[in-house]
Amino acid sequence: VLDFNDPFSTEVKPRILLMGLRRSGKSSIQKVVFHKMSPNETLFLESTNKICREDVSNSSFVNFQIWDFPGQIDFFDPTFDYEMIFRGTGALIFVIDSQDDYMEALARLHLTVTRAYKVNPDINFEIFIHKVDGLSDDHKIETQRDIHQRANDDLADAGLEKIHLSFYLTSIYDHSIFEAFSKVVQKLIPQLPTLENLLNIFISNSGIEKAFLFDVVSKIYIATDSTPVDMQTYELCCDMIDVVIDISCIYGLKDDGTGTPYDKESMAIIKLNNTTVLYLKEVTKFLALVCFVREESFERKGLIDYNFHCFRKAIQEVFEVRMKVVRSRKHQSHMQTNKRATPNGTPRMP
């Protein structure tokens, strides 16, 4: 496994581990969220038999590594260096198949969480109760309550009540998997409070009901304002991004087929039949701001556009600070590497 020992890579690119039993849906989640694979196509995916690493570098904020682990990994195998793996991990997503008997999955979850916590207490533990599309609403709630109770009881019996587990009901056949991944990724963005504060200032001065800052590639929202998130609102935003990108790919390119479908001129207005306006504007080549505005407030579009210009400028400044940090850490990593080398360039043995 490459780069597990690189301290710089884990500082700049936090790792997200996808774990769970075989056939729980780990690879399907990754393919649907980050590769635009149709949920129906995932039925033909083969079982993962080795650790698969993927870099997700859509922007300076959505910038991490995903490690997809085979379900049959044995923590007691001496060839499996779990300490090295967990040491640089930002989030551990454990996927449980809600349509299967989950007792074995809970036992594996407990083993995984306790081992990971001893190595790295700062890991965020995220539990995806997956494949809930086949359950009724009452059954979903009951399954989540039962898994939540059993998992926390196991930790309490081991004297580890301070470990916090976050639970999500997910399915690749609706937007629940994107919303769950959004909340996981947000915990790994150190600039999140700054982004949320900027969005709060923007909507309060523009008469906007709700605003999301989206990564247009994955449809993960990396930040939103402090008002509650409604699932239907989020789904409308995702659908709008799909419409904008699809139409831009048809009409947004030059006659010779060159250019990019999503650029600084990208924007869209969709008027809904409930006197609400959906407004999308390009922030960077990977980010979009999607807003919900009342029709009467949208009459002051000039004010909204001016405030958006200020918002975009502030986001660019946050980017610049981020890049300075990255360059500084790269320089420090390079200096440390040089110090560990002998004059003839041969690394010293530890």
- Given its phi and psi angles, is residue 211 left (phi above 0), alpha (psi -120 to 50 degrees) or beta? beta
Domain harbouring 244, CATH code: 3.30.450.190
Q: What is the pLDDT of residue 9?
A: 42
- Report residue 80: phi and psi, to 5°: -100, 105
pLDDT of 346 > 60? The answer is no
Tell me, yes or no, whether 155 and 48 share the same domain: yes
Binned at pLDDT 50, 70 and 90, residue 282 comes out as very high
Q: What is the pLDDT of residue 286?
A: 86
Tell me, yes or no, whether 279 and 235 share the same domain: yes
Q: What is the pLDDT of residue 60?
A: 62
Q: What average pLDDT does range 228-238 have in this prediction?
A: 90
Q: Examine residue 331 and state whether it is found in any structural domain, yes or no.
A: no
Query: In 25-58, which positions are buried (b, 16+ CB within 10 angstroms) versus exposed (e)?
Result: bbbbbbbbbbeebeeeebeeeeebeeeeeeebeb
Q: Examine residue 258 and state whether it is found in any structural domain, yes or no.
A: yes
Tell me, yes or no, whether 183 and 201 share the same domain: no
Q: Examine residue 5 and state whether it is found in any structural domain, yes or no.
A: no
pLDDT of 172 > 70? The answer is yes
Tell me, yes or no, whether 320 and 229 share the same domain: yes
Tell me, yes or no, whether 33 and 156 share the same domain: yes
Binned at pLDDT 50, 70 and 90, residue 209 comes out as very high
Tell me, yes or no, whether 37 and 149 share the same domain: yes
Q: Round to whole Å and give the CA distance between 171 and 98.
A: 10
Q: Examine residue 333 and state whether it is found in any structural domain, yes or no.
A: no
Q: What is the pLDDT of residue 85?
A: 83
Q: Which long-range contacts (CB under 8 A, 24 or more apart) does 245-251 make?
A: 245/216
pLDDT of 335 > 80? The answer is no
Tell me the one-letter amino acid at 121: P
Q: Examine residue 335 and state whether it is found in any structural domain, yes or no.
A: no
The model carries a pTM of 0.83
Q: What average pLDDT does range 208-213 have in this prediction?
A: 95
For tokens 């019996």, name the residue: 157
Minimum mean pLDDT among 8-12, 27-31, 236-240, 281-285: which range? 8-12
Tell me, yes or no, whether 58 and 118 share the same domain: yes
End-of-domain residue from the set 144, 170, 188:
188
- Report residue 142: phi and psi, to 5°: -65, -40
Tell me, yes or no, whether 184 and 195 share the same domain: no
Residues sharing a CB contact under 8 Å with residue 317, sequence separation 6 or more, in sequence order:
none
Tell me, yes or no, whether 108 and 50 share the same domain: yes
Please check whether residue 279 is in contact with residue 240, taking contact to mean a CB–CB distance below 8 angstroms: no
Please check whether residue 70 is in contact with residue 48, taking contact to mean a CB–CB distance below 8 angstroms: yes
pLDDT of 104 > 80? The answer is yes
Q: Round to whole Å and give the CA distance between 345 and 244.
A: 53
Q: Examine residue 345 and state whether it is found in any structural domain, yes or no.
A: no
Counting every residue written for the chain, the total comes to 350
Share of the chain above pLDDT 70, in %: 88
End-of-domain residue from the set 188, 217, 236:
188
Q: Examine residue 62 and state whether it is found in any structural domain, yes or no.
A: yes
Tell me, yes or no, whether 161 and 202 share the same domain: no
Q: What average pLDDT does range 298-315 have in this prediction?
A: 94
To the nearest whole number, what is the mean pLDDT of the chain?
85
Domain harbouring 184, CATH code: 3.40.50.300
How many domains are there within the chain? Answer: 2
What's the pLDDT tens digit per position in 107-140? 999 999 998 999 999 999 999 999 999 889 899 9
What's the pLDDT tens digit per position in 254-266? 777 677 778 888 8
Tell me, yes or no, whether 151 and 112 share the same domain: yes
Structural domain boundaries, residue 282: 191-325
Tell me, yes or no, whether 294 and 197 share the same domain: yes
pLDDT of 338 > 90? The answer is no
Q: Examine residue 131 and state whether it is found in any structural domain, yes or no.
A: yes
143 vs 319 pLDDT, higher one: 143
End-of-domain residue from the set 154, 188, 222:
188
pLDDT of 326 > 70? The answer is no
